[in-house]
Chains A and B, each alone.
Chain A
Amino acid sequence: MNNLDFFYQQPSPYSLGAAEKQQVLHSHLAALDAHHQQHCELYRRIASSQTAAGWFDQQVFLPVRLFKEYELKSVAQQDVFKVLTSSGTTSQQVSRIALDRETAAHQSKVLVKIMQHYLGVQRLPMLIIDHPSVVKDRLSFSARGAGILGLSTFGRDHTYALDDDMQINLERVQAFIAKHQGKPVFIFGFTFMVWQYFFQVLQQSGQQLDLAGSVLVHSGGWKKLIDIAVDNSVFKQVAFATCGIQRVHNFYGMVEQVGSIFVECSHGYLHAPDYADIDIVDARTMQKLPDGQQGLIAVSSVLPSSYPGHRLLTEDLGTVFGEDNCPCGLNGKYFHVHGRLPKAEVRGCSDTHAAEVKP
């Protein structure tokens, strides 16, 4: 029922100009609003409440945290094909995202469209900056493991750069480089892992690897790197200095909106693809902010029809710089993510310090 053919027929995932996108994307999202109101009672209740306050230009954005507390789905239980889970960063609670076959298929298809834009249609030899055990234990699958498996479909000859003790296996990496000498290679890892266990180790030991011509894709957030004063430009400098890597694409995505990810362009901005949009929201007024101002990131996606995750308010801070006029030439809004919203101070006598008590 969630027909995305119009989007799939575009020549690239960054084809739609602002005016057309506004019309197409927003009528599609409005249809999803109505769909979820009709099929998810919990969503309908939240929507009734939010709409009364007139927030976000009357659009309803669910706080992502709700997926950790409630089973929000718009399909019957027998149509749930798969439940995606993520580890929570603030608690042991995990998000549970119910997918039916249709939503799952859209997620895979859109991810392919977006990744192929950067990697080409051929599967490239793939170097994974992690250790192989991260995907071995399928019962206790981490978000990291799931991410690696998801991206692995875009590569071949999958080679893990690290051993289980997180040391670089230079012999293996060198053999991989030698085998694919002169051909483009796809490198993937989580931002912090790539920095800590790969670039920094190479930098400190003065070793150089010849990975020129390869594409590095990484994700997972900058929080730990910001704490040690490493930003995107430092990251890229070191990628070039240690490995000769010139094409680096960070991406921003979340388990609550798999597929329509926001990938960093050649000019260092994350871009909204045709399937998705981004807005910056002022937490105090719950209204959208103009370009250039920092606020909470709200993400929209045309993919989710089995769960009401088409418009979400994240707890990440970001700034949108413009739409359709990024120097990289791609259409869509382009933005930066600044990190997580700082935690609120706890006062009073409520039980928020339960962790203080030993079990």
Chain B
Amino acid sequence: MTLSAIRLLAPQQSAQSVEFFCQERSDLLTPFSPAALEFVETLSRQLLRDPAFKAHPEMIALGYWLRKANISRLAEQAAVPTAVTNHAVRLPRGLVFHVAPSNVDTIFIYSLVISLLMGNKNLVRLSSKSSAQQMLILQVLNQVLTELPDNPVSHSLMVVTYPHDDTISRQLSSWCDARMLWGGDNTVSHFSSLPVRPTAVDIKFANKYSLALLSVQAVLAADDAGFARLVRAFVSDTYLFGQQACSSPRAVCWLGDTHMVSQASTKFWSAVDAAVNQYPHGLMAADFMQKLVFVAEHAIDYQSVLSPVSSDMTLTVLNTELAGLIETRHHCGRGTFLQTAVSQLTDLNAVLHRGVQTLTYFGISAGELQTWLQAGVPGLDRLVPVGQGLDFDYIWDGVDLFASLSRFVTIR
């Protein structure tokens, strides 16, 4: 197959060929250029204005994240200390080739935006399987491109799709200066096997597993309003993408007095049970069937036992030993939680590994968590309060995206 099999999705028409686009470097911008800021602001406005996105909370969240105030805050956080800027200049890497996850999620837009803020040119490959969300994203991107015909960013972005084809992927990979791989382990490994030029970098985001850590005492002591907030926040972290986002907690670990765990757990899950039955989770018979199979698989592998806390299959809680808490092979999401308890944070070290990404926490002080991390933990990329599990951060899976998508030129 040749490059002619590539279909351009955004912009809808371009005077540049893909080949020319990928090889030309004279049109790179500089980090946080006014043109890029205008582009991002316009994108944010479109997302928040269009009523079509009201039904997609993840799109609204994206719209808010892209707002001017948040981008300025990010720019401050990512700012290079004066000690460095005295003898170094930050520049874009060049062409960034983004391989978006096949089941379109908004997540690749976040890394795309960081990339264009750094002044890179961007080529995005979307899955050839079209989805409603994909159409919406393309629609809004094309609106922005039409609205800003003279903005240089509009000419340094191409969104394409093509059938699974190594010849094309190999060619595009050979042209880029950075390759951003989103997807399952297989997709990421497969693309990794296609070479990039020796000066280029690969940034990989493969499968990850996340969990929640709740303080037994804090849950029991929470006032009504605080407890209700916790439950709402937990439900939205876990049920928004059917618990299938990498950052959606799939397990709940209780921390504290082991004699009080069952009381705290009963209080928590009965409230979650009531909340999920009000939540537009979209789970159907086939989802419940998947869960039934997982319940059996986990019982076989870890002798876990269903907890009777839930009124139906919308919520499934399995009591397990610590060893069964992180189950990355079969876990089906869809409102399924592996539950266990530990009496101290360091007990978790035994099961954490590099495949564990987010820990959402409640009732545990930042200081306590810092002390734990500083002594060294074998996994985890981010710890955030319950409710912020699905928020995007410019440091993702341990990678500072601003740093990875730019380069320093030193001058002494």
Contacts and interface: CB of A to CB of B under 8 A. Distances in A.
A binds B: yes
Interface of A: 42, 45-46, 48-50, 52-54, 62-63, 65-66, 69-70, 283-286, 296, 313, 315, 341-354, 356-358
A351 B103 CA distance: 10
Nearest to B208: A349
A349 B184 contact: yes
B77 to A, nearest CB: 25
Contacts of A345: 242, 282
B212 interface: no
A352 B103 contact: yes
B244 A344 contact: no
Contact of B307 (A52, A344, A356): A52
B83 interface: no
B184 A350 contact: yes
B262 to A, nearest CB: 14
Contacts of A358: 164-166, 190
B387 to A, nearest CB: 18
A169 B290 CA distance: 45
Given A45-B300, A283-B285, A349 B103 contact: yes
Contact of B184 (A69, A315, A352): A352
Given A349-B182, A356-B187, A52 B286 contact: no
B103 A45 contact: no
Nearest to B285: A283
Nearest to B184: A351
A313 B305 CA distance: 19
Given A49-B295, A347-B103, A349-B244, A341 B286 contact: yes
**Which 6 residue pairs of A and B lie closest in terms of their CB atoms, listed nearest first?**
A351-B184, A348-B244, A344-B286, A283-B285, A53-B306, A49-B299
A356 B284 contact: no
Contact of A341 (B101, B165, B205, B289): B289
A62 B293 CA distance: 8
A98 B144 CA distance: 62
B289 A315 contact: yes
B226 interface: no
Residue among B129, B164, B245, B289 with the highest chain A CB neighbour number at 10 A: B289
B159 interface: no
SS of A interface (majority): loop
B164 A348 contact: no
A347 B241 contact: yes
Contacts of A354: 184, 186-187
B295 A50 contact: yes
B102 A353 contact: yes
A341 B208 CA distance: 29
B292 A286 contact: yes
B318 interface: yes
A45 B289 contact: no
A284 to B, nearest CB: 5
A69 B129 CA distance: 29
Contacts of A65: 293
A218 to B, nearest CB: 27
B164 A286 contact: no
A55 B80 CA distance: 58
B166 to A, nearest CB: 6
Interface in B268-290: 282, 284-290
Contacts of A349: 101, 103, 105, 107, 182-184, 205, 207-208, 244-246
Interface stretch (B17-25, B62-70, B111-119, B308-316): B308-316
Contacts of A315: 286, 289
B289 A356 contact: no
B316 to A, nearest CB: 9
Nearest to A54: B308
B186 A52 contact: no
Contacts of A283: 285-286, 288-289, 292, 313
